[in-house]
Amino acid sequence: MKVLALSFAGVAARQSELLTAEEAEAQGLDFWGEDFNKTTSHDSLPVPNDGYPADFSWCNKDGVNYCTPSLNQHIPQYCGACWAHGSMSALADRIKIARNAQGPDIELSVQHLLDCGRVGGCSGGTLSGPYTWLQHVSDSGDGISYATAAPYMACGGNFNAGVCKDRHKNCDAMNRARTCMGDECVGLSRFPNASISEHGNIAGVDQMQKEIFNRGPIACKVAADALVEYESGVIGGKSQPVSASRTDHVVSVVGWGTDETDGLYWVMRNSWGEFWGEQGYAKVAFGALMLDSRVPLLAGCAWATVKDFTAPERDNGVHCTVSGVCDGDADQTPKIEATRKSELLSQEEVESRGFIYRGNSSSKSSHDALPAAELPEDFTWCNKDGANYCTVSANQHIPQYCGSCWAQGSLSALADRVKIARGAETGIAGMEIDLSVQHLLNCGTAGSCSGGDPGAAYQWIKQQSDATGAGIAYRSAQPYMACSSESTKGFCATADNQNWTCTALNTARTCETFGKGCIGLTHYPNVTIDEHGSISGSDAMMTEIFNRGPIACNIDAGPIVDYTTGIVTATSSTTDHTVSVVGWGMDAEEGRYFIVRNSWGEYWGEQGFVRVKDGALNLGSDCYWATPKDFIALERNNQVHCWEDGKNCEDVAALVL
């Protein structure tokens, strides 16, 4: 096992992402320090009579993963927002715990916090700031929005960096929740959100274990210098001894474990992408990196308890149309007047790009060999045997409009199938990998923001898989920006050092630290495809979904632009939009319907989903499936270990300053 140098003499000290009171004041921010002496509900939490188990993690509690997806604060340009990521990831985990891991994961909007919190920015923040701000917001009857309404742009005070230069600024409706169509965007009056009932600070092993064990993950300060070149194993133990004298970074801690050589260690989730460490995680020995130090102010952790959140099971859904009108809005509410256009390529356009229209990867499709067993009346991968295998919802329409439904639908279905495969391999339900739609827009010749083809998307990934051994990148290496090379909407045409073409930088990237550049990575987590094909008709759809997982299908989206809830029955003979289909159900009046996941955000429809009657919207006229071949995952022992600055995975030609 690799042993790191004790002093880390070759690694320059990182600039701290934790602000002092003086630094916060100089930036016009509200400074909230930690109060470790305040009496809170944490004090009355029980301690197990027999002590804590040697191994405990919310990422695998009783065979269920309650950890939400790993994130990357460093892209599309560098942003020192660890303080926001650590706290929001821990809170999102607690929402997942409250939901008993049912339904697609809810991701909270770090960008909403950056735009409105006034407790930090891309130059840093504080440990207690996020929860203190959110407590004030919660007490006023509001909450933090979901990422599908306000996606992370890595913008906060760095107004001239990358995509931030021409991005809409200020804390207003547009930066809390938005929708876009054509050249227009509007802020929403209502949006899915989460609130908290209480928050507090703790420090030290005993308090950390008690809080994590009883209520869920927490956000903690850590000394990150030694993490810059971390790859795997227990850091700070006998195998990888380190020293630390200051904290400069915030992470979330999801549990602990025991190593035969290094003893007890914390399971720590970072926000540097899944190409870093152990798929975005690190094992930190007890007593190392000041993670569990009790030194006042220099160390410590923060926790918050969930008060409320928007979810189908709570019957408190927000329903907004594509044009931006939400239930209860007054007649004068600003709305988008743009008309939707088809986002699908014609057969001629698909073939002109070198793809086979409605093609299959082999002359004899494996779909035809699937068992035609008697199928149940109700079935969904979002709740199969009590477990959710549906990946997070998406919103193709923001930060500016992009007609990428063909990419969203195909990659969501493929990501679901990876989640299914991981559950089968590990016995742990809910382990998620989210795929990069932006990589497909930058490099995949199957389409653009002007439209594309889901079957061609699978063909392109298959071609890449066979030719290079690498497939579609993970979202944490290339986030969705809703741009392609021909797009002039929003910041697409003016963002610094962005041309949305297929380069290493636009495949997988990391951006170093303050004042440094971004680099393209030659090695990155990815998913490859084994087979793909096209099908049509309800029977074929159900057979494919039941046996192998969700599929991508084209529909006529005209009748659902104003959809809120219920079963859609409108018939059609055309298609102009791609969705993913995750299952079906039976209604006493309408009969069979399909459970469809759209890519218009969680404020649309039934938290991003719509029920479509069998035969409606021309659903089933052309659908597409793909089977995963390989993917980067801990359990497959094939991880990519890139340092924080990416230098050991760097494509020198892709360096951008």
In the residue annotation, 405 being an active-site residue is answered as yes
Amino acid at 228: V
The secondary structure element, H or E, covering residue 530 is strand 526-535
> Whole-angstrom Cα distance, residue 599 to residue 566?
18
Q: Tell which residue, 200, 573, 576, 145, has the closest CA to residue 403.
A: 576
164, 598, 618, 642: which is the annotated catalytic residue?
598
133: left (phi over 0), alpha (psi -120 to 50) or beta: alpha
- CA 582 – CA 561 distance, rounded (Å): 20
Residue type, position 443, single letter: C
Sequence-distant (≥ 6) Cβ neighbours of residue 549 within 8 angstroms: 381, 389, 413, 416, 417, 420, 625
Rounded to whole angstroms, the Cα distance separating 397 from 148 reads 10
C-alpha 442: how far from its chain's center?
A: 19
Work out the angle at residue 393's Cα, subtended by the Cα atoms of residues 390 and 399, and round it to the nearest 5 degrees.
160
- Give the Cα separation of 393 and 104 in Å (integer): 7
Does residue 136 have an active-site annotation? no
State yes or no: is 577 an active-site residue: yes
State the virtual CA torsion across 35, 40, 45, 51 in degrees, nearest 10.
20
220 contacts 202 by C-beta, under 8 angstroms: no
Residues 154/156/161/166 CA torsion (nearest 10 deg): 100
Cβ proximity of 518 and 647 under 8 Å:
no
DSSP state, residue 15: P
> Which residues touch 70 (CB under 8 Å, ≥6 apart)?
269, 270, 271, 273, 274, 279, 280, 281, 476
Coil, strand or helix at 625: strand
Q: How far apart, in whole angstroms, are the C-alpha atoms of residue 526 and residue 628?
A: 11
Catalytic position from the list 518, 577, 642, 649: 577
Residue tagged active-site, from 116, 405, 449, 483: 405
Query: CA-CA distance, 605 to 539, in Å (whole number)?
Result: 26
479 within 8 A of 543, measured Cβ to Cβ: no
Contact 254, 23 (CB under 8 A): no
How many CA atoms lie within 13 Å of 430's alpha carbon, on the beta-carbon side? Answer: 28
Measuring CA to CA, which residue among 182, 177, 101, 103 is closest to residue 142?
177
Catalytic residues: 405, 577, 598
